[in-house]
């Protein structure tokens, strides 16, 4: 398949590229600076700001899907405003380019921690994560209003970290996946496995899913 990965130089984007290439897919790596993307067989680097709708439409035209791992630059005073504007530009670009599938690297804050309690509202949820998590919740709500595109939103476990690719994890829906000790963890590498699995065999179109060990 031919897939565009938006936010390609981030920790999630890099793992998406690795996983997609390992399965023989052709990747267009889109970031603010293509110079940050090392030359690799099977990868075309494209410099493009998500806010430049026309340029983004040109970059993704002819692709089977877009995987969006993009996040606003650090230090943004209005995280949700930046995400909303960026994703409105992306969705418009997709419509202009005729690309139907978008797969979004989301957050874990909007997952249900316990009946009626969101993960972001649990007592030990880190304060430093809250602005981004609230924005991720609003982003998911925004996608749920989209009916003309085939979207999927993948929430990670509560904790996502740079680790190893095991290919072994559990999937869930809108509830946080935890182990017997109450821990919820996943590596970026295995997160990418789940996303590329979904790319190849869609099972969660028009909805969110999650994963953890």
pLDDT the model gives residue 148: 98
112: nearest Cα among 140, 84, 74: 140
Q: What's 175's DSSP letter?
A: B
Pairing of strands 26-31, 43-47: parallel
Q: Is the torsion defined by CA of 212, 30, 143, 78 positive or negative?
A: positive
pLDDT the model gives residue 10: 92
Q: What's the predicted TM-score (pTM) here? A: 0.94
pLDDT the model gives residue 158: 96
pLDDT the model gives residue 35: 64
Rounded Cα gap, residues 194 and 169, in angstroms? 9
pLDDT the model gives residue 36: 67
The residues facing 185 across adjacent strands are 159
Q: Is the torsion defined by CA of 88, 90, 91, 97 positive or negative?
A: positive
Pairing of strands 65-68, 2-6: parallel
pLDDT the model gives residue 72: 85
Token pair, residue 13, equals: 């984007």
Q: Which residue ranges in the chain fall short of pLDDT 70?
A: 35-38, 75
Rounded Cα gap, residues 46 and 41, in angstroms? 14
CATH of domain 2-212: 3.40.50.720
The answer to whether 5 touches 37, Cβ cutoff 8 Å, is no
Q: Is the torsion defined by CA of 54, 60, 62, 66 positive or negative?
A: negative
Strand order through the sheet with 43-47 = 43-47, 26-31, 2-6, 65-68, 101-105, 150-155, 207-212, 170-172
The answer to whether 173 touches 140, Cβ cutoff 8 Å, is no
Domain ranges for the chain: 2-212
Token pair, residue 22, equals: 């390992």
């Amino acid at each position: 398949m031919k897939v565009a990965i938006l936010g390609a130089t981030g920790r999630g984007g890099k793992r998406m590229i690795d996983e997609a290439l390992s399965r023989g897919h052709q990747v267009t790596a889109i970031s603010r600076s293509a110079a940050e993307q090392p030359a690799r067989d099977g990868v075309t680097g494209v410099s493009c700001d998500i806010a430049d709708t026309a340029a983004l439409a040109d970059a993704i035209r002819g692709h089977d899907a877009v995987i969006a791992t993009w996040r606003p630059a650090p230090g943004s005073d209005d995280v949700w405003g930046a995400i909303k504007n960026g994703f409105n530009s992306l969705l418009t670009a997709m419509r202009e380019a005729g690309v139907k599938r978008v797969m979004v690297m989301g957050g874990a804050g909007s997952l249900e921690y316990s009946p009626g309690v969101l993960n972001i509202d649990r007592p030990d949820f880190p304060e430093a994560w809250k602005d981004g998590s609230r924005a991720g919740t609003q982003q998911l709500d925004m996608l749920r209003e989209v009916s003309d595109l085939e979207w999927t939103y993948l929430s990670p476990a509560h904790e996502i970290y740079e680790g190893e690719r095991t290919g072994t994890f559990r999937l869930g829906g809108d509830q946080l996946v935890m182990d017997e000790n109450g821990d919820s963890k996943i590596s970026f590498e295995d997160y990418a496995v789940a996303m590329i699995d979904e790319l190849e065999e869609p099972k969660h179109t028009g909805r969110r899913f999650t994963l953890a060990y």
